[in-house]
Structure 1
Amino acid sequence: MVAGEEFGLVEETEGVDGDEWEQLDVSDTEADRIARRQDREFSEFRKRLKNTEQFKVTGGVFDDATFAALYKLVQDGYIEAIGGPISTGKEADVFEALAPEDETVAIKVYRINASDFRQMRDYLEGDPRFENIRGDKKRVVLAWVKKEYGNLLRAKKAGVRVPDPIAVQRNVLVMEYLGDETRAAPTLDDADLGNPETAYEVVREYIRRLYDAGLVHGDLSEYNLVVDDGELVVIDVGQAVTVHHPNSEEFLRRDCRNVANFFAREGVDADGDDLYDYVVSEADPREGEGVA
């Protein structure tokens, strides 16, 4: 009996043109070899990061998708090595990283699983960019990261000193590192202000320029301002909203109140209502191209 005859297979294959089978090439291709090599490299990359000492504390922020995003940033030449944490938060952790030509950059890694919708809700409601994804945590976080990247670009264009945005990949944002070889730039709350009056004038102008460009920071305080090489820098602009957001006025008043209260404690003649009146009277907010 021919092998397979008892199952009726021989009869079904009779008359089939052998040329059709010759067209099915199951040999290894260059694409297969590249894919396998990339899989091995990614596995080694992930294992190397997981075994790194500093990630044993903050490792909860790194899932496989985050490892894949970091690996893509390495492959694309944005980063070469990842260092220790700069800061940790409920929504994201910030790490040092080494870019080509020995440049230090910062990478902000958002926690997809740990992100709290209740903290994001006030900034998402009324924003048409989030209408169709508000109930999907992963999609909201990924959109939030792109929003922060766009807000940085817009603030920089408006003449506000912010970390220079470099790249974004899924839940990872690469941006300028603020600080020196010994430590990251201190927040305004921890910095030694030689001239608080001048610092207040700079921050007041930053708020005005943001508003003039159609943005409200939404969470501005001494904890989201840092001093880098003598310059005041605005950070954490992911929650910044446009002036058409239904809560933009409330957010702007809160920003002005927080900033004025801090500088008043530093001896500056600052008042939240006066700051708000100055900003709205001196700025001409507009919605331009490339809304973040």
Structure 2
Amino acid sequence: MTDDFGLAENTEGAAGDEFEEIDVSDTEADRIARRQDREFAEFRKRLKDNERFKLDDGAFDDATYAAIYKLVEDGYVGAFGGPISTGKEANVYEALDHDGGDVAVKVYRINASNFKQMRGYLEGDPRFEGIRGDKKAVVLSWTRKEFSNLQRAREAGVRVPEPIAVQRNVLVMELIGQEGDAAPTLNDVDVDNPETAYEVVREYIRRLYDAGLVHGDLSEYNLVVYDGELVVIDVGQAVTIHHNKHDEYLRRDCRNVANFFARQGADADPESLYDYVVENASPRSDEETERPDDE
């Protein structure tokens, strides 16, 4: 017979005969998962309790610890040292990889106070179209953007820190300097030959532009001196030539750089530097299509 809903009634006795018993005993996968959970919990506690590079300052969430843990598991980070720099957007720490080599770990704050400004540098970049407007999405995209910009700059022949790995809001890259002795900025050294140094930086700007990038914040504070070389740092805000303010940013870079070297005695002026860059570069127009990981 059927009930009012047209469903056949069970007239054969115990319904349990129609179901298979579920095995709830532990599997090897269960045991591995529990062990990994315990190991991660212990790892997170050690980071939070470490006074040398205390990450738990209200700026980082558990997913940030998970990102660092993944980088450790993958062999990119083996041990942490102290902070190289701290700022509103990110902290940079000395670290060692699993082979004992020096690396730098840059941890971006999810609650970055100037994330709206960060979003302004992302807008207009085809690699990051359609990102969500919340802080987390912006910061995660920014981190991947810096990794991508470092790759492109190195391919263009610009001396920047070598990008090694990126996971969520954590970037691992070459350490510029030595353990306990960060490389000084150009502002903090005596420039012995300003004319030669200016020519090097001028060529860096041209090569970046040739690669379709504008640094956007280049000055004596974002150039460091190490092992006889000038190294460009902090390329997270660098924009492509498709950004609606790329020309404004290029002119600002030229003004900052030329004015600094002019004060050092070099024959430099902003307009001549700008003209040199745009007249001697053929900016690439193709864009990387990699999208940021919003997880």
Query: Same fold by TM-score, threshold 0.5 exceeded?
Result: yes
Question: How many equivalent pairs are there?
Answer: 281
Q: Is the 8 A contact 1:80 1:100 kept in 2?
A: yes
The whole-number CA distance in structure 2 between the counterparts of 1:238 and 1:249 is: 17
| Aligned twin of 1:16 | 15
The whole-number CA distance in structure 1 between the counterparts of 2:11 and 2:58 is: 56
Q: 215-224 or 188-197: which moved more?
A: 188-197
Structure 1, unmatched stretches of 5+, are: 1-10
The whole-number CA distance in structure 1 between the counterparts of 2:160 and 2:234 is: 9
The whole-number CA distance in structure 2 between the counterparts of 1:182 and 1:13 is: 79
1:157 aligns with 2:158: no
What percent identity do the matched residue pairs reach?
A: 72
One-letter identity of the residue aligned with 2:232: V
SS in 1 for 2:81: strand
CA deviations over 1:196-252 (Å, ceiling 9, x no partner): 111111000000000011100011011111111111111111111111211010000
Q: Is the 8 A contact 1:61 1:93 kept in 2?
A: no
1:215 to 1:139, Cα distance in 2 relative to 1, 3 A: same
Q: Give how far 1:164 is off.
A: 0.2
The whole-number CA distance in structure 2 between the counterparts of 1:291 and 1:216 is: 18
Q: Give how far 1:267 is off.
A: 1.1
| Aligned twin of 1:261 | 259
Q: 59-68 or 127-136: which moved more?
A: 127-136
1:19 to 1:79, Cα distance in 2 relative to 1, 3 A: farther
Q: Is the 8 A contact 1:54 1:84 kept in 2?
A: yes
Correspondence for 2:269 among 268, 271, 280: 271
Question: RMSD of aligned C-alpha atoms?
Answer: 2.0
Q: Is the 8 A contact 2:158 2:208 kept in 1?
A: yes
Structure 2, unmatched stretches of 5+, are: 1-9, 291-295
CA deviations over 1:104-156 (Å, ceiling 9, x no partner): 10011000112423322431333344442241211111111111101100000
The whole-number CA distance in structure 2 between the counterparts of 1:87 and 1:13 is: 75
The whole-number CA distance in structure 2 between the counterparts of 1:160 and 1:14 is: 79
Q: Give how far 1:256 is off.
A: 0.3
Q: How does 1:113-128 map to 2 (within 5 A)?
A: 113-128=111-126
Q: Is the 8 A contact 1:216 1:242 kept in 2?
A: yes
The whole-number CA distance in structure 1 between the counterparts of 2:11 and 2:51 is: 61
CA deviations over 1:165-184 (Å, ceiling 9, x no partner): 00000000000001023401
1:12 to 1:287, Cα distance in 2 relative to 1, 3 A: farther
| Aligned twin of 2:90 | 92
TM-score by length of 1: 0.90
The whole-number CA distance in structure 2 between the counterparts of 1:13 and 1:139 is: 57
SS in 1 for 2:260: helix
SS in 2 for 1:25: coil
Higher-helix-fraction structure: 1
1:14 to 1:115, Cα distance in 2 relative to 1, 3 A: farther
SS in 1 for 2:190: coil
Correspondence for 1:222 among 213, 220, 223: 220
